[in-house]
Amino acid sequence: MSVIDIEIAMQHLRAEDEDRPLVQRYLEAAEDSASQYLQRRFYANSHTLEQAVLEGTAGRDPLLITPSILAACLLVLGHLYDNRIDVFSESGRADLPTGSRSLLAPLRVALGV
């Protein structure tokens, strides 16, 4: 289940209802990518965060979704939806949007030495 409501994702992409299952998969992948980059899990509201903490599934330094996390996930979602195969340009392969990393970087933990 996604943290971000599927309706927000559908509106962001201006996707047709027939694409809903695909959008749901890409949304989950975008959220997973953000969580892995942050090395933290994020939650839609304090209730689900507290429940995860009590169940011992919240992981290290969990947080509520922020506008930056939402924007980063939507950037990645848009990229996945628009580029269903690897994208190449004259300068090489186009990876995920760097703007998403910029939005997430201040919230990242455990960067190492």
Task: Give tens-digit pLDDT for 77-95.
Answer: 999 999 877 656 666 655 6
The confidence band for 113, taking pLDDT boundaries of 50, 70 and 90, is: low
Residues 12 and 37 sit within 8 Å (Cβ to Cβ) = no
pLDDT at 66: 98
> What span, in angstroms and rounded, lies between the C-alpha atoms of 101 and 73?
10
Tens-place pLDDT, residues 15-73: 999 999 999 999 999 999 999 999 999 999 999 999 999 999 999 999 999 999 999 99
Q: 32: part of which helix (H) or strand (E)?
A: helix 20-38
**What's the confidence (pLDDT) of residue 110?**
72
